[in-house]
Each structure stands twice: as structure tokens, then as C-alpha cells.
Amino acid sequence: MADQITSVPAAAAASPAKRAAIALGVTVAATAAAIFALGDAAYLWVKAVHVIAIISWMAGMLYLPRLFIYHCDAPIGSAQSETFKVMERRLLQLIINPAMIVSWVLGLWLAWQADFFSSGWFHVKLAAVIGLSWAHGYFAAAVRAYREDRNTKTARHWRIMNEVPTLLMIVIVMLVIVKPF
Ligand code: HEM
């Protein structure tokens, strides 16, 4: 069963660095094309794509620690454990990593366009997004640890870590919508 899941199409088998470069290149090219074709209206289109990328990033960041919780109960070497490894790797490499790159590139472009770099709410949002990116790196390291059967963290630890992206998301969305200061 795990063998069936590990047979991936050629495009999906590209290295993580190559996929990240593709995500970055496509985002920059699409943003440049939108600016060229749409002029001032590009801002709202880019913001829409930013929100779509954020939804994908957050979906992965909320689901990955749930997988870690279930993975804790799967004995090392079992078919279940091998299946979790594939699910975790695919979620990270195919969804979470590209979505984070697109979110950052478009978010920084929006901030530059609207001149938000001197706004107080934006500084706090940026700090919260850096926190979210740290959690992303922490989860990526856990995917590697599980893949090499050396996870030492408990299901309780992953239940607590599961709340980190949720709390940061609440802060970020309130800041960017309300812009209280
Ligand atoms: C990765 C770094 C990020 C940067 C640099 C960034 C920056 C920005 C900027 C400058 C805007 C435009 C605000 C406006 O036009 O009023 C925006 C919109 C938005 N961002 Fe981000 N953002 C980032 C990540 C996130 C994250 C992680 C979330 C949610 C968890 C998020 C949620 C939103 C939402 C909901 C909007 C639309 C707000 C509105 O139109 O009122 N952003 N972002």
C-alpha cells in the first residue's frame, strides 16, 4: 500500500528546491504580467491571489500537526507509519512550501505598493508572519525526523503545537482587516 502511494508522477518528483524555484518564478512572472495588463487594478487581483495562497498555507499548517498526532501512534516500520510519511512529505512539498513562497512574495509586493512598511499594524503582522514561518520550519524538521524514524515528541506536544498556527492566524487576520494602529 505504501509502495502504491510512493509512486509519484514525474512533475511531482522534482526536488524541493526545484519546486520552490518554480513556485517563485511563476509567482513573479504572473505578478509582473498582472501589473502590465491591469495597471492600478492589479493590486486587488494580486491581493485575491495572496488570500488564496494564505488559505492553502494555513490549511497545510493546520493539518500537518494533526498527521503528526496520529503518526505518534503508528509503530515504526508499520504500513501505517510509511503511509503517514508519504502524506506528510507530499503535504509539505506540494502545498505548504509553494503556498508560503507565494504568500510572502505577493504580501511584500502589496505592502510596497500601498506603502504599509511604516504602519504599526504591519510591523506586528510581519512579526506574527515570521512566527508562522518559524512554525513552518519546525514542522518541516519534524517531517524529516518522522521520515528517518527519529521523532521523539509526544502526541501531546503536537496537540499543543497545533494551536500555534491557529493563534497566529487570528492575530494576523485581525491586524490586516482592522488595522487598529
Ligand atoms: C507572508 C507575509 C505576508 C505579508 C508580507 C502580507 C502582507 C499583506 C498586505 C500588504 C496586504 C494588503 C492589505 C490591504 O490592502 O489592506 C495583505 C492582505 C491580506 N493578508 Fe497578508 N501578508 C502576509 C501573510 C499573511 C498571512 C499569513 C495571513 C493570514 C493568516 C494574511 C492574511 C491577509 C488577508 C486576509 C488580507 C486581505 C485584507 C483586506 O483586504 O482587508 N496575510 N497582506
Give the CA dihedral 135, 137, 142, 143, nearest 10 degrees. 120
Mutate to test the pocket of ligand 1, among 54, 61, 118, 179 (most ligand atoms within 8 A of CB): 54
Residues 77-123 have pLDDT tens digits of 999 999 999 999 999 999 999 999 999 999 999 999 999 999 999 99
Query: What pLDDT, on a 0 to 100 scale, did the predictor assign at position 38?
Result: 82
CB of 103 closer than 6 angstroms to any ligand 1 atom: yes
Q: How far is ligand 1, taken at its centre, from the CA of residue 169, in Å?
A: 11
Residue nearest atom 26 in ligand 1 by C-alpha distance: 54
Residue with cell 494580486: 46
Identity of residue 146: Y
What residue spans define the domains of the chain?
15-178
Query: What pLDDT, on a 0 to 100 scale, did the predictor assign at position 134?
Result: 98
Residues 33-73 have pLDDT tens digits of 878 888 888 999 999 999 999 999 999 999 999 999 999 99
CA distance 120 to 124: 7
* Average pLDDT over the chain, rounded to an integer: 90
